[in-house]
Chains A and B, each alone.
Chain A
């Protein structure tokens, strides 16, 4: 695939009403392409996570259009949007949100199970992905027995197990040391980024800026800078 994986056009999102209304995103437009690792950076409160939520079908914008793989997602019904997220998007949440009462293997298999794939087949595929991220030997353990870096890789494995076209990472290195953070993002870029996939990363961790193909910097809900490659910390 070539061209735009995600198109955001004039997106607006506010919270609260009347005098309490606060704009999180104000008329923002951009594109994320296949084969590209796009960083969305900016200070806390600049609207990065809100933007990511709108383009991933989690938060409905007040105005504007989101087109993912040629489909205007906010015209879909709630169940269709859930299906869109399940089949098109892979999430890595900031706090991982792994299930402590499931094994690492079962955690990774969740998107496949939600796709109603056979339980054992899902676990087999999850094991292959755990092997890819180097955690095969951790498969039977609960995530609570793993280190922060290992948990991050489990979250990554869960995001990619169903081979989604778009990967979305929210502050993926926020709780990792610099070496681990760089190793994980390096792995993502080398192993997971390809011509059929677009990766969007929200971060304000300057230690991983070097891996970006393109970067957007946001402030007060607007794009204030868009550059090829990584941004320099300001």
Chain B
């Protein structure tokens, strides 16, 4: 069989014009599909930045919350209630809000502020400079060094700023797994300082971060929280909730899905048409092979091999091109959200296989019907 596949390979790649058209079609389609789906994955990741960075196993929130930045403050007694649930190892409050930071040159810069539980500092970031304990120092804030860091004029330890007429001092610089969606810097401080410095509603707890005693306790904790009229979600469930919000309630997902579908259809039409033309132009060759003694299934293998080789090559080039473009774009545009995930790659591969299957199907239908007698007749 390898011999006949070698013939198929040579028939394909030596017809350089057609082969180039096929490869460009698939590459272009994969490039667009990976770009768009990666962009969406990046947006979802950034939208879940707080959840990912804090990393709590279970989050307790108001049932109306569908986005970590739009938290609805919880009454303090809920914290006590959660702490009293069997299976809860510990539960701590998290402050999450936005404040205006006045920089030394007088410019106001919005910033996301996360207030960590004073006693435990659960959800602390990874420090690059300074010590996490310095967060307890007077007016202490830790600045996250991400794409938004320059918006605070690249502060160093000791840099001061104003936040709601309070003095703030940078006591540490940290890194987090992912930066936020809305392009504003992030500050960490203690829960107590956050609610002192930033105007708050009557209730101040944005989320309650829960550490269950064991994973088996999670369902019970969720039930008990629900009985109190609130919602407890695991880290993954909260991220899925955010993803669902962006997919189905904001229009972002629908629009990107439409664009991805269009790129798939463009790739499908280019490839199917070009491959069909390629097979049509080689129909007499397939007929000659059949007349000489090639069996129908061998011709089908040849077509499948040609389509699959084209698809896989185009897929590799498309993914490579996307990766290079995303890497270059991220150098120029730090906020560029695109993030290639295994899911994106799998999705693009699946789409390519659909293109390959469809192109092969229409070509195979033609080839298996060919009559060697037609070749004989000339």
Contacts and interface: CB of A to CB of B under 8 A. Distances in A.
B14 A58 contact: no
Contacts of A93: 288, 291, 375-376, 378
Contact of A85 (B11, B14, B293, B371): B293
A84 B295 CA distance: 11
Interface stretch (B2-10, B92-100, B202-210): B2-10
B292 A91 contact: yes
B294 interface: yes
B7 A113 contact: yes
A97 B284 contact: yes
Contacts of B376: 49, 52-53, 58-59, 93-94, 170
A114 B377 contact: no
A177 B2 CA distance: 39
A119 B296 contact: no
A111 B292 contact: yes
A203 interface: no
Nearest to B14: A101
A122 interface: yes
Interface in B282-331: 284-285, 287-296, 298
A82 B10 CA distance: 23
A87 B372 CA distance: 17
B1 interface: yes
Contact of A99 (B11, B290, B291, B295): B11
Task: Give the interface centre of A79, A110, A111 by most chain B CB atoms within 10 Å.
Answer: A110
A72 interface: no
Interface residues of B, number: 30
A102 interface: yes
Task: Give the interface centre of A59, A97, A171 by most chain B CB atoms within 10 Å.
Answer: A97
A142 to B, nearest CB: 8
Given A102-B14, A106-B10, A97 B293 contact: no
How big is the A interface, by class?
35 or more
Contacts of A89: 293
B298 A102 contact: no
Nearest to A60: B373
Task: Give the interface centre of B10, B15, B293, B296 by most chain A CB atoms within 10 Å.
Answer: B293
Interface string B257-298: 000000000000000000000000000110111111111101
A186 interface: no
B287 to A, nearest CB: 8
B280 to A, nearest CB: 15
Task: Give the interface centre of A82, A84, A95 by most chain B CB atoms within 10 Å.
Answer: A82
A95 B287 CA distance: 12
B360 to A, nearest CB: 19
Contacts of B10: 101-102, 106
A116 B1 contact: yes
A78 interface: yes
Given A110-B292, A122-B3, A95 B11 contact: no
Interface string B1-30: 111101100110011000000000000000
B285 A114 contact: no
Nearest to A115: B293
Nearest to B10: A102
B298 A114 contact: yes
Interface in B76-115: none
A11 to B, nearest CB: 14
Nearest to A158: B292
A117 interface: yes
Nearest to B6: A119
A123 B6 CA distance: 13
B285 A99 contact: yes
* A-B CB proximity, top 3 nearest: A86-B293, A101-B14, A97-B288
11 contacts: A52-B376, A78-B296, A82-B290, A86-B294, A87-B293, A89-B293, A95-B284, A101-B10, A101-B11, A101-B15, A170-B378
